[in-house]
Amino acid sequence: MSTVTYQVTGMSCGHCEKAVSEELSALPGVSSVTAKADTGLVTVESTEPLTDEAVRAAVDEAGYEVAGRA
C-alpha cells in the first residue's frame, strides 16, 4: 500500500474536490482519494506507487494543478 499527499492549486469547493477525486480514482490501483479544498491537500492511497506524472495528468484533466508533494 502506498499513500502520498499532494498540494493541488485551484480547488475551492466540494465540486472541485469531487472532480479531482473522480479523476484520480480512475487511475489503476487507486483505492482511496481524499481531497480537501480548504487546505488544497489531496491524499491518494494505492495498491502500488503511482508516478507523479500520472497524478499530475489526472489532476490536470480535472482542471487543477499539482504544485508538488506535501
Strands annotated E in 1-70: 2-9, 30-36, 41-46, 65-69
Of 36, 37, 35, 53, whose CA–CA distance to 45 is shortest? 35
Sheet hosting strand 30-36, strand order edge to edge: 30-36, 41-46, 2-9, 65-69
Q: What is the pLDDT of residues 19-53, one digit of tens each?
A: 999 999 999 999 999 999 999 999 999 999 999 99
Residue 31, all three cell numbers: 483505492
Cα gap 24→59, rounded to integer Å: 7
User: What's the pTM?
Assistant: 0.96
What architecture is the 1-47 domain classified under in CATH? Answer: 2-Layer Sandwich (3.30)
Residue pointed to by grid coordinates 469531487: 18
